[in-house]
Structure 1
Amino acid sequence: MTKSIDVPDYFADEFNKTLTYPSKKPGALDASHRRIFLLIESALKDVSWPDWEINGGEIRSTNDVEPYGIELHEGKFYIYAKERGTRSAIAIFKDGHMAAKYFVWLASKGERQIDWNLLLDMLQ
């Protein structure tokens, strides 16, 4: 279920543009999003204190009592905090890399960063 919010026209125009990917291969954009989620998981592994989940729990920390979450919906990355089963909006990103950087910073309390060198390994 989605609802509308009021934003300036230039903002809405940019956000409503269809996401593209340089490769025209079928499934390339979905594969790119999957790699971003795997990079987030890699950055947050072995950290015992953050609670986090990706795509509604598809990938998650060992603890998920009241997690931060990131999910992709209609080409936008939504970041939220969950408390008592209710999600509270934190941020919306169109750019997956920016969303991933912010999410890792948030969930790790600034302790971790994404190793973007791993992305090159995932492309091979």
Structure 2
Amino acid sequence: MNTFWKTVTVLISFIAAAQCLNCRQCPLGIFGKCLFGKDVTCNNGTEQCYTGEAQFNATGSLTLHTRGCLDSDLCGKTLTGSILGAAYTSNFKCCNTDQCNGASSVQISLSVALSAAMLASLWGTWEL
């Protein structure tokens, strides 16, 4: 009987883990570029993938972007606050399917990108 309950517990934990979302995480995005982005799995079933914006009221033109997992209670909310005396307004848009807040991106080093560009330019000069 003890083995039965262990088996049930393991199955429940697998089902719970399978229901967690995979989301794109971006702790800081500025000017359309994500810094330090990666893919993450949300911790529990109450979290959803989100995209968020924080706009500083004084500048109006500086908007920071974030992505990741967020508790469902904050979805669709607009929050205000201040950092070092600068007031900001932030809002969060949520979705509930894997990678719905942005596809994962392939990041390559500058040297690899330059090498590929040079090879492509050489390839175009070799005509038969």
Bigger helix share: 1
Bigger relative contact order (CA 8 A; separation at least 6): 2
Tell me which structure has the larger Cα radius of gyration: 2
TM bucket (normalised to shorter chain) is under 0.3
TM-score normalized by the length of structure 2: 0.24
Structure number with the higher strand fraction is 2
